[in-house]
Copies of this chain bind each other. A is one copy, B any other.
Amino acid sequence: MQFNKVLDDVKIYEAGKPIELVVREYGVDAKDIIKLASNENPYGTSPKVTKKVQEIAKNMFMYPDDSMFELKEALANKFKVESSNIIMGSGSDQILEFAIHAKCDKNSKLLMSNVTFAMYEIYGKQTGATIIRTEDDEHNLDQFRKLYKEHKPDMVFLCLPNNPLGECLDTKDVYEFLEEIDEKTLVVVDGAYHEYAAFKDEKKKIVVDELISKFPNVIYLGTFSKAYALGGMRVGYGIAKKEIIQNLYKLRPPFNITTLSLAAAVEALKDEEFVVDCIRKNFEQMKRYEEYAKTKGFSFIESYTNFIAIKFDKMYNSSEVAQNLLQEGIIVRDLTSYKVNAIRITIGSDEQNTKVLKVLDEVLKKLK
Q: How many copies does the complex hold?
A: 2
Which of B4, B49, B63, B232 sits near A64, CB closer than 8 Å?
B232
Q: How far is the CA of A103 from the CA of B5 in the complex (A)?
A: 9
Chain B neighbourhood of A250, CB < 8 A? 7, 10, 12, 126
Interface stretch, picked from A138-146, A158-166, A257-265, A295-303, is A257-265
Find residues 55-100 in chain A having any chain B CB closer than 8 Å to their own CB: 57-67, 69-70, 90-91, 93-94, 97
A315 at the interface (CB under 8 A from B): no
Q: Nearest B residue to A106 by beta-carbon distance? A: B105
Q: How far is the CA of A64 from the CA of B234 in the complex (A)?
A: 9
Chain B neighbourhood of A29, CB < 8 A? none
Which of B43, B101, B243, B259 sits near A1, CB closer than 8 Å?
B243
Which of B63, B105, B251 sits near A126, CB closer than 8 Å?
B251
A192 at the interface (CB under 8 A from B): no
A364 at the interface (CB under 8 A from B): no
Number of A positions contacting B (CB below 8 A): 79
Interface stretch, picked from A14-22, A168-176, A195-203, A355-363, is A14-22
Structural contact, A66 and B1, CB atoms closer than 8 A: no
Chain B neighbourhood of A102, CB < 8 A? 3-4, 7
Taking A15-B66, A232-B255 as known contacts, 12 extra A-B pairs with beta carbons closer than 8 A to each other, sorted by chain A number, are A1-B247, A2-B184, A7-B102, A10-B250, A18-B67, A35-B62, A90-B90, A91-B255, A93-B255, A94-B253, A97-B253, A119-B254
| Chain A residues in the interface with B (C-beta under 8 A) | 1-4, 7, 10, 12-13, 15-16, 18-21, 24, 35, 38, 40-41, 43-45, 49-50, 53-54, 57-67, 69-70, 90-91, 93-94, 97, 101-105, 119, 126, 183-184, 186, 216-217, 225, 229-234, 243-244, 247, 249-256, 258-261, 264
The 8 closest A-B pairs by CB, nearest first: A232-B259, A15-B66, A18-B65, A61-B229, A10-B250, A45-B60, A3-B247, A54-B54
Supply 14 A–B pairs (Cβ within 8 Å), ascending by A.
Answer: A1-B243, A3-B247, A4-B105, A13-B253, A15-B254, A18-B66, A35-B62, A45-B57, A61-B229, A63-B232, A93-B254, A101-B126, A231-B255, A233-B258
